[in-house]
Chain A
Amino acid sequence: MLQRILGGVLVLLGLAAAALGVASATVWRDTDTVVATATPTGDGTLVVTDPGVLGLVGGDVTVSATVPEGQKVTLAVGRDVDVAGWVGNDPYSRVTGLSDWENLSVAAGEPADAEAGTNEPPESGPDPAGSDMWVAEASDENSVTLRWSDRPGRWTLLAAGVGEGAQAPTLELTWPRNVTTPYLWPGIGVGVVLVGIGAVLLVLGGRRVRAQRADAADLRSDGGPSDGRHDDRSDDERYDDPSAGARSPFGPVAPGAGHDPSHQAGATPAPTAEEADEPGPTREGDDDGTARDAAGTAEVPLAGRLLRRSRGSRRQSVAETSTADVPPTGDVARGDDPAPVAAPFGAPVAGPVPAPAAPHEPVPAEPTTATGALRMTRRELRAQEEARRASEQGSGMTRMLRAMTGSIPAVRPQESAPAGEAAPARPDTSTPAGRAAAWRATWGFGDTRTGQGTDPNPTDTDGENR
């Protein structure tokens, strides 16, 4: 169980890691561009960038400059000396770098000729457009855009508001940025690994639980220490159906062994013998149950109930089958086979056992008919009752749960077919009389009343037996 929880947690963590990885490359991904603006300060109509500012973030930069409506603006890129020479002693704003990711730092530019000092701002903004020195330039009304790919050297940008009453333009530099997504594939990778590990744990955990259930189911439905349905059947035949012994070459021996009168007589109540017969399953099943209960999950007890129920129905069908087969056993009764002898001893014991159960258990499934009562412990009867209740309460729900727990293949084949067959032959066991009749029929005591006529092949059986 812990494994499954851990598996689930790992799967969730894995999905989360993968989601985070993807998110880091999508919603949290940095923008592909860095956009920084420069608002000019002070006097002048010129803005000049320091060398290196154009290539600050990336090699390619898109510069756009904006001036108030109705004015002209020019952008030009040139060698730093050329731009400085062109600006001369006019006042200008100097872009020195990024102050943050969205703003450029701007300072007042120093005049080229410090001694001469800065000129008075010109009345009309000079236009750098058309100079032979620029390697790139653009000029337009209101706003203009210029693209520049950085190249070796100290290239600087000159932006100028042009004309009467011009103002220095506001610059906006846009760099495409190579955004890396370093967490995308690691995130997905870690996620996949975690999901994988989690899935493995889930599957393993699931398998273990299923295996436990299947074990429990096998053991309980077998009703014996040995595994396999054949044994299941032979058990029933051995104990419930003496006629089987008549068919089998070992028949005389098997019933004798199973119902050794001395043994049963010694161990006064049949249950004791029963428990001695199947020590493994009973204990194991109980242990499992306790272990599962300790784990604190609701599933398992439910599944166990289902399994018990299926076991009960199986037993019931078996019992019914044997009831149907009872007539032939009448032959056995006539013979000196020890089985019938054992019955009287068992009968009194079995009698009281089914009786209290009867009120709660209506028509179906009266495994206590005869031998069923002999073999069943109280615990088993309790389980049987529980299973029946569960099946009565919500067959749809339980079917669904069964489907969810994947226990169908283990249960269904035994559950459906025999039950269907057995149904019509079911004797009325709701009354003590009926039960007694069934018991008698099973053990051949009803022989005198029911007669041999119902036996399809008495002579064959006799012949084989003897």
Chain B
Amino acid sequence: MNRRATRRALTVASAVVVTSTLLAGCADELPQPVAGEAFDGPVLTEEQDTQVFTAVAETVAKADKALSGKELKPRVTGPAYEVRASQLSVAKKRDNAEFVTEIPSESQQMIIPTTEGWPRTSFSITTATEDQETPRLVAFEQDSARADYKMWAWTQLIPGQSMPYFADSAVGSTAVAGDDDSLAATPVDALAQYADIVTLGAKKSSFAKGFELPDGDLAAAVAADASAWKEVPGFEESGTKYSQKYKARKDEVRSVRTADGGALVMGVLDGKATVKAEEDAKVPALSETQKALLGDAEQTNVLTTEYTDMVALYVPAKGSDEKIRPLGFSHVATAASN
């Protein structure tokens, strides 16, 4: 009968509904983990980099307040630590922190690396200081995976120098090895050449033609040091000799690619300036820093001042029309001896 058939169909239909409802709960397949796209961007987000910067600035501020180099340890390393610790000890001896480099705690540009391994170096350009000094270019380094980012170096930008363009912080910039040969000069070589220029002066150095030297760079500052000595009354007459030697550290080079294929290179030049007067003469410390560094040591006819200079260069890509340009430097006497 027709109705009976209908009823049977309905029974079957409802049975299907019931069964599928009951099975629905158990039938889901286990999902398998799907690894997303591999990371190829910056190792830090801008936010994280800002946190790094803030952490460093806090640590530095704390050390500055205590005038204690040890306080820097958690967040400052390398040449930055050397210089800063020295500055702080000088400031402590002098009870005056006027020569301690001010490092603004705000960043205006972040250059974040894409390095997968360690160490990783990020750079940051700070804002101008409160008393309108030029911004600082700061390098942060994460030495190992379990280490924090620490301030590795800072330089004060040379007034009037334009910074090269960098990849956006969301894209990330590639680190450049110290011996990268895609550049006009490898970072290590560029630093060595610059050291030569600083030592000899632009006129005497054979490398000067490869550089575009601004007025206020490290070479000029070092020359000014020499001039200062030479201007001391009786310097020439007494037969006092002034000599200086600057040398780039080969293993302390940090470079990052710029947008135009060049590189920003930061490195350290160890400088030594020696003033040697005739025997029995006594060479006084010329600067307050030298005085503090010398301390109570008795004056002799020799005064050696050591500098730890952090420098930043722009090295163009190979074949570029541009020349190597100093971007910034920090010229700080870190030791003195008689």
Contact = CB atoms under 8 A, between A and B. Distances in A.
B286 interface: no
B20 A13 contact: no
Contact of A30 (B25, B37, B39, B43): B25
A377 B52 CA distance: 115
Interface stretch (B145-153, B276-284, B295-303): B145-153
B39 A153 contact: yes
Contacts of B34: 52, 55
A130 B52 CA distance: 11
A276 to B, nearest CB: 40
B259 interface: no
A48 to B, nearest CB: 13
Given A126-B146, A132-B52, A50 B10 contact: no
B232 interface: no
Given A13-B10, A20-B21, A154 B38 contact: yes
A132 B36 contact: no
Contacts of A50: 33, 35
Given A131-B146, A132-B148, A154-B38, A190 B14 contact: yes
Given A57-B31, A79-B39, A132-B44, A186 B3 contact: no
A52 B36 contact: yes
Interface in A92-150: 96-101, 126, 128, 130-133, 135
A52 B39 contact: no
Contacts of B319: none
Interface residues of A, number: 51
Contacts of B30: 97-101
Nearest to A84: B145
B59 to A, nearest CB: 13
Mostly helix, strand, loop or mixed at chain A's interface?
mixed
B116 to A, nearest CB: 5
Interface in B4-32: 4, 6-7, 10-11, 13-14, 17-18, 20-22, 24-25, 28, 30-32
Contacts of B35: 50-52, 80, 154
A17 interface: yes
B96 interface: no
A249 B14 CA distance: 69
A53 interface: yes
A17 B14 contact: yes
Nearest to B52: A132
Given A133-B43, A152-B37, A82 B14 contact: no
B142 interface: yes
Contact of A85 (B3, B48, B118): B118
Contacts of A28: 21-22, 24-25
A3 interface: yes
A133 B39 contact: no
A28 B31 CA distance: 21
B24 A182 contact: yes
B145 A16 contact: no
Contact of B148 (A81, A101, A130, A194): A130
A85 B116 CA distance: 9
Contacts of B3: 2-3, 6
A135 B42 CA distance: 13
B14 A85 contact: no
Nearest to A130: B148
B31 A98 contact: yes
B243 interface: no
A55 B144 CA distance: 28
Given A81-B39, A132-B142, A24 B24 contact: yes
Contact of B145 (A56, A85, A98): A85
Interface string B41-69: 00111001001100100000000000000
A52 B37 CA distance: 10
Contacts of B32: 56, 97
Given A16-B14, A57-B31, A82-B145, A183 B36 contact: no
Contact of A20 (B18, B144, B149): B18
B33 A190 contact: no
Given A28-B25, A154-B38, A133 B48 contact: yes
A155 B35 CA distance: 8
A13 B28 CA distance: 28
Interface centre among B13, B33, B37, B45, by most chain A C-beta atoms within 10 angstroms, is B33
B23 to A, nearest CB: 10
Contact of A154 (B21, B36, B51, B144): B36
B7 A96 contact: no
A345 interface: no
A81 B116 contact: yes
A321 to B, nearest CB: 49
B233 interface: no
A183 B17 contact: yes
B160 interface: no
A10 B21 contact: no
A100 B30 CA distance: 7
A271 B43 CA distance: 115
B16 to A, nearest CB: 10
A187 to B, nearest CB: 6
A187 B116 contact: no
Contacts of A16: 14
B145 A152 contact: no
Given A28-B24, A183-B20, 13 more contacts: A3-B3, A6-B7, A20-B21, A51-B35, A56-B31, A86-B146, A98-B30, A101-B28, A132-B51, A132-B52, A132-B149, A153-B37, A183-B21
Interface of B: 3-4, 6-7, 10-11, 13-14, 17-18, 20-22, 24-25, 28, 30-39, 43-45, 48, 51-52, 55, 116-118, 142, 144-146, 148-149
15 contacts: A6-B4, A6-B7, A13-B11, A20-B18, A21-B17, A56-B32, A82-B43, A86-B145, A101-B28, A135-B45, A153-B36, A153-B37, A154-B38, A155-B36, A182-B24
Interface of A: 2-3, 6, 9-10, 13, 16-17, 20-21, 23-24, 28, 30, 50-53, 55-57, 79-82, 85-86, 88, 96-101, 126, 128, 130-133, 135, 152-155, 182-183, 186-187, 190, 194
